[in-house]
Structure 1
Amino acid sequence: MKRNKIMITGLVILLLIMLSTACAGKNTGSDNSGTASGDSAETSASASDNKQRVVKSTNGDIRIPTEPKRVIGLSVVYPEFLYALGVTPVAVQNYHQDFPSYLEEGLKDALKTGIAETPNFEAILSAKPDLIIAPVWWSEKDYEQLSKIAPTVLLPQRDHWREELLDIAEVLDKKEQAEQVIEDLHQQEADAKAKLDTLVGNETVMYMMIMADQLIIYGENIDRGSFIHKVLGLSPVKEFPQNEKSISISLEKIPDYNPDHIILQLDDESNEKVQNRYKEMLDSSLWKNMTAVKKNQIYMMNGKEWFNLGMSPLADSSAINDVLDAFEKKGNE
């Protein structure tokens, strides 16, 4: 009987040791190998990456990643909206080979796909986007192919860039950032307008573009002219037709518009015809006898830098700095 008790006690102890070893082995294996915790982390990360939400587009509700990492904005201005909201696009459609200075550093790694009427689908695919955003007027015809590459949100055509910016911000859940961008630019505009009023006062300013086959003057009823005359408050020449957005003039007609100051741009600095027309104008006695020329109040602006003027907060902000710098330097000469 005593012997049986000893045997039973021994068996119980042995079973307890085996259970303890098994439990310890299970815990140790998980901690040392990291397999269990690693799998759990990967699963969690994967679940996070796969999280989606529904946004509105002109094509109805679209399911997109909650936190898209590789975004493309189509058209030459959408990349600027994205960058203004703190999102660096992985690919862009570009008109010029080089970016304007205010985008040069930020978009240096972005893939350039050109600006052909039919997008470079192969290049867009190679950028591996997880979200494509585009204006309906630009990309509706390509929606089917774009949506095969990544979720594609088409946004409505708007009358002002502020509305476009807010539309994109709604998609990216960045409404506060968009409102801050708008507020900051509004303050910059107000400050610049006050400084220019001190520098220029009521003296007239003409905004002129030299193109290959014509000279263009912009009025206050078009984005570019509105920026100069309404946003910055620079007085237009009285002779400009009030119902026109812009007018084309010949060299012989220049004396009819005789401002105190001229903001001048070349449509394409590398174009030989543009350069020839510019030289012809500079050599003309009609040009040399203009008030602004005699007073040395001509302000050259880079065409590439102002390409999206009036259509983007970044372009407008950069142009404000350009105008202020130009007029302040002349005032200090």
Structure 2
Amino acid sequence: MYKQLHLKLTGILLVFTILLVACSQTPATTSQQSADGVQSGAVTEENSSADSTTKTVESDHSSRDIPAKPERIVSINMEDILLSLEVPLVLATPIGRQDYLNEQLKAQGVPVEPISESVNFEAVVSSNPDLIIANASLDSKILEQLDKIAPTISYDRRNWQESIVQIAEALDIEDKAEQILQKNKDQVSEAQQRIVDITKTKPTAAFLRLEEKDMRLFFSSIPSTPFPGSSYVGAGYEMGFTPDSLVTKLEAENPERMNANISVELLPEIQADYLFIVSISSDGSDEALQKTKDELSEIQQLQVWKSLPAVQSGHVYVLNAKNWLIDGPVAESLKRNEMLEVLGLSAQ
């Protein structure tokens, strides 16, 4: 009798266990009906949707979860790259008066709030962004404040060729970045062909910025960065000029910098065949250009200046800093065109 009772109890427990396992494997939403009588997988779909609405992205400062498909992007001093990628911008914040993209931004209905002493955080909040893409050179405290407004990722604008690929990967538009890089390569090749009659003898060049009694000699690149054209004037050398020996020397001594301050006493060491003077102000105004020319006129009276090879051969040219003190695919194109124009060649 006890044996039969034990068998019955064992059987009941076995059936109960099977039922529990079966219930645990049944999706909670399998039989759930929606209001219109159609079966709904709401919980599963919501979980799946949540998984696909964000993605983890690595940027210069950290790893960050961002919207998988951002629709309202704020640019913090990254306008050149982001305009080229045709992302949905709702606010642009260029540095100071570097306004070479302002007309294009306004034509697309993108408000412009230039950075002066700091970022206009009120404007950023008002634009209601779902993603902020910032220049990695900004102060970490500014980046932290931006991240409180919306997920913020930052990249090195100076190395725009690398950053544009990283941003495109973050936004799933890699093809667009490839097209931009290819277009840039094609434009470089075309410019090199247009200037070949000048560069075929491998002339040396130097880019000098005059700044109220202060002279800066720009380097052809920044040795500590991966791209040879990563200095402001890299595009000029990329067209076929060879850096002057003084440029090469100072560049090697200052691998983290893009220029070096030089004195009048150091001028005789500039033996470049071509000398390009970058105007004093980044706003590119007529007043700034005139100020540069006035400074240049003073220096031109010095015997040490008159003895320079580029001066004696008549190969001194003034460039507009508005295009040259910035980085990005649009800026690079503008630099090449201006180089061609001052050298008496047709622009691209």
Distance 2:131 2:247 in 1: 45
Q: Cα deviation per residue 1:78-109 (whole Å; 9 max; x = unaligned)? A: 11110010136322222233512xx2431124
- Check whether the contact 1:169–1:175 (CA below 8 A) recurs between aligned residues: yes
Cα deviation for residue 56 of structure 1 reads 1.5
Q: Does 1:255 align with 2:268?
A: yes
Residue number in structure 2 paired with 1:53: 54
- Check whether the contact 1:65–1:130 (CA below 8 A) recurs between aligned residues: no
- Check whether the contact 2:195–2:340 (CA below 8 A) recurs between aligned residues: yes
Please show how residues 150-299 of structure 1 align to structure 2 within 5 Å. Answer: 150=150, 152-155=151-154, 157=156, 160-201=159-200, 202-222=202-222, 223-229=231-237, 231-242=238-249, 243-244=252-253, 246-268=259-281, 270=287, 277-299=295-317
- Check whether the contact 2:93–2:113 (CA below 8 A) recurs between aligned residues: yes
Match of 2:67 among 52, 64, 68: 64
TM score, norm. by length of structure 1: 0.70
Question: RMSD of the alignment, in Å?
Answer: 3.0
Residue number in structure 1 paired with 2:94: 94
Cα deviation for residue 185 of structure 1 reads 0.4
Q: Cα deviation per residue 1:211-235 (whole Å; 9 max; x = unaligned)? A: 1242122233431354333x22202
Q: Structure 2 unaligned runs (5+)?
A: 1-48, 223-230
Q: Secondary structure at the match of 1:305?
A: helix
Cα deviation for residue 248 of structure 1 reads 2.5
- Check whether the contact 2:68–2:171 (CA below 8 A) recurs between aligned residues: no
Q: Cα deviation per residue 1:195-216 (whole Å; 9 max; x = unaligned)? A: 3232233222221111124212
Distance 1:104 1:114 in 2: 10
Cα deviation for residue 120 of structure 1 reads 1.4
Cα distance change on mapping 1:61 and 1:125 into 2, 3 Å:
closer
Cα deviation for residue 115 of structure 1 reads 2.2
Q: Structure 1 unaligned runs (5+)?
A: 1-47
Residue number in structure 2 paired with 1:133: 133
Aligned length: 272
Q: Secondary structure at the match of 2:245?
A: coil
Distance 1:158 1:234 in 2: 24
Cα deviation for residue 265 of structure 1 reads 0.9
| Greater share of residues in helix | 1
TM score, norm. by length of structure 2: 0.68
- Check whether the contact 1:208–1:263 (CA below 8 A) recurs between aligned residues: yes
Match of 1:106 among 98, 104, 107: 104
Distance 2:93 2:320 in 1: 20
Moved over 6 A (4+): none
Q: Cα deviation per residue 1:37-71 (whole Å; 9 max; x = unaligned)? A: xxxxxxxxxxx9xx833241454442416251x31
Higher mean displacement: 136-145 or 201-210: 136-145
Distance 2:232 2:114 in 1: 24
- Check whether the contact 1:88–1:106 (CA below 8 A) recurs between aligned residues: no
* Percent identical residues: 25
Q: Secondary structure at the match of 1:254?
A: helix
Query: Which of the two has higher C-alpha Rg?
Result: 1
Cα distance change on mapping 1:281 and 1:57 into 2, 3 Å:
same
Distance 1:172 1:64 in 2: 9
Q: Which amino acid aligns with 1:279?
A: S
Residue number in structure 2 paired with 1:304: 322
Cα deviation for residue 143 of structure 1 reads 4.6
Q: Secondary structure at the match of 2:322?
A: coil
Cα deviation for residue 178 of structure 1 reads 0.4
Distance 1:224 1:283 in 2: 28
